[in-house]
Amino acid sequence: MGKATGFLEYNRVDNSLLPVEERITNFKEFKKPLLAEERIKQGARCMNCGVPFCQSAMKLSGMVTGCPLHNLIPEWNEQIYEGHNEHAFNRLIKTSNFPEFTGRVCPALCEKACINGADSDPVTIHDNELYIIEEAFKNGYIKPLPPKVRSGKKVAVIGSGPSGLATADSLNHRGHSVTVYEREDRIGGLLMYGIPNMKLDKDVIFRRQKLMEEEGVIFKTGVNVGVDISKDDLLKEYDAVVLCCGSKKARGLAGIEPDSNGVYYAVDFLTMTTKAILDNNLEDRSVKSLEKLGGYVSAKGKNVVVVGGGDTGNDCIATSIREGCKSITAIEMMPEPPVERTASNPWPEWPKILKVDYGHEEAISVFGSDPRVYETTVKEAHYDDKGNIKEVVLSKVKFNKGKLELVKGSEKTIPCELLLIAAGFVGCENYVSDAFKLKLDNRNTVDTKEDEYMTNVDGIFSAGDMRRGQSLVVWAVAEGRACAKEVDTYLMGYSNL
């Protein structure tokens, strides 16, 4: 324990944010790190609990609280307080492949389980993690560490999202020769094209890619496995294949088909914007630079409606504001959560409370009100004579015996020139599972035994959202690490991962 009275002496201080009026003019990251002196105080707030819930990943009332990676949080918090940043880094990487990703985009399940949060504010675990890894990069603690001995075994990892990268990184450090196949033009999966640049700067991904390449991992982009390369071709060349293709089959809206008439799935919209930014030579990430580019859908001057109240919906709000939308409305079918925990949702359960994220904050600042409308759905869309969407009809909804019903007489028509569907995903894309003859479960995800990663086809494994279903980056990394250990055992007869 760094300082026995730290949690009593110091208040929680988060990384600061750039003012809304400044950050919405570009797509750059907008969180400002604390000075080292203040970060030391934040590390001192950790109580070093005898049984730290922060690293537990307990399931309570059907939801997980605590870190799925079981990060050694009290240990590296103490090292922050002592000023031993390299020691903190060495503890952090024992359980986490990519703290620079989770330190930016994870919703911090660890903090929800922090015992300080029972009657005060939890430790800034999320910001502490990001501080450690960025200090490590800045001070040269991170160097390429290619394995000294190769096993002679070859592994193909299909998909370069967080689960694929974690699988590849772990197996490569074990000594296996790993090739990662990615159908997009750049690696990263949803890290690259599902999370906007202001939340995760893509240079962070390129930095990690360079490091992994120097350590021996081979990346092949623009290759669509199952189309460009068959299962048989892969099994001839590799000793094992790991499918980390995500849960990318988007959930649609009844009667409304996404196409080029102003209706898009959220990830497609975010992908177009990110590609426009990256293809502009990674130099000018301002809104004005995007206005000069074609080949992407802009929200500029449009009334935007976002369907879905999760992180992706929030990212669509923030992106639309940066592009200069005329208005923004966010539709959520569920009731508005309470501002504070209810008696039925005590600590350390995941807090089911109202969250005002960065996109909501920006919408409130720009348009004067929270954009979210609860217990509502889009009933139908209307189009102009050119086939472009011009308005949507909203309807209140209610749950009757577990079934969603429209509330008659509650319809309301609002203008809409851009409808973004961020309603989640319903499993993997079937062309991949069909190509590999995989057994799927009733959620359209790869069917494996509980806590195992081997599919019904010998030598073929699966991890991440493709196996687990739509989830968090931290879960994807945890799945990739666990899958790598199983693959290693399959190849070598044992594993020291």
Percent of the chain with pLDDT over 90: 91
Task: Give exposure, 207-238, as e/b (b: 16+ Cβ within 10 Å).
Answer: ebbebbeebbbebbeebebbeebebeebbeeb
* Per-residue pLDDT reduced to its tens digit, 414-470: 999 999 999 999 999 999 999 999 999 999 999 999 999 999 999 999 999 999 999
- Domain-terminating residue out of 103, 138, 173: 138
The answer on 417 and 327 residing in a single domain is: yes
DSSP category for residue 368: S
pTM: 0.96
pLDDT in tens, 44-53: 999 988 889 9
3-state SS class at 395:
strand
The answer on 353 and 487 residing in a single domain is no
CA distance 28 to 264: 24
How far CA 233 is from CA of 156, 168, 240, 376, 404, in Å, comes to: 11, 20, 12, 49, 46
As a whole number, mean pLDDT of residues 107-120 equals 94
> Do both 412 and 434 map to the same domain?
no
Is 279 found in the same domain as 394?
A: yes
**Residue 280 above 90 pLDDT?**
no
pLDDT at residue 40, rounded to an integer? 97
What value does the mean pLDDT of the chain take? 95
Whether residue 96 sits in one domain with residue 194: no
pLDDT digits (tens, 9 = 90+) for 98-109: 999 999 999 999
User: Which CATH number do you get for residue 230?
Assistant: 3.50.50.60
Residue 149 lies in a domain: no
* CATH number, position 85: 1.10.1060.10
Over the stretch 203-253, which tens digit does the pLDDT of each residue have? 999 999 999 999 999 999 999 999 999 999 999 999 999 999 999 999 999
The conformational region for residue 246 under phi > 0 = left, psi -120 to 50 = alpha, else beta, is: left
Domain boundary among 383, 405, 421: 421
| Closest-CA residue to 232 (of 435, 473, 477, 484) | 435
Looking at the structure, tell me whether residues 402 and 450 fall in a common domain: no
Does one domain contain both 320 and 380? yes
Domain count, the chain: 3
What is the total residue count of the chain?
A: 497
pLDDT of 292 higher than 70: yes
**Distance separating alpha carbons of residues 49 and 46, to the nearest angstrom:** 8
Name the CA dihedral angle for 227, 232, 233, 238, rounded to a multiple of 10 degrees: 120
- Check whether residue 334 and residue 446 sit in a common domain: no
Q: Could you tell me if 159 and 228 lie in one domain?
A: yes
- The verdict on 182 and 97 lying in the same domain is no
Opening angle at CA 41, ends 36 and 44, nearest 5: 125
Query: Is residue 134 located within the same domain as residue 159?
Result: no
Q: What is the pLDDT of residues 471-491, one digit of tens each?
A: 999 999 999 999 999 999 999
What is the span of the domain harbouring residue 47? Answer: 6-138
For 61-105, write each residue's pLDDT tens digit: 989 999 999 999 999 999 999 999 999 999 999 999 999 999 999
The CA-CA-CA angle for residues 222, 224, 229, to 5°, reads 115
Give the pLDDT of residue 107. 95
Please tell me the predicted confidence (pLDDT) of residue 39: 97
pLDDT of residue 282: 66
Co-location of 412 and 475 in the same domain? no
Q: What are phi and psi of 330, to 5 degrees?
A: -115, 125
177 occurs within a structural domain: yes
DSSP letter for 256, please. B
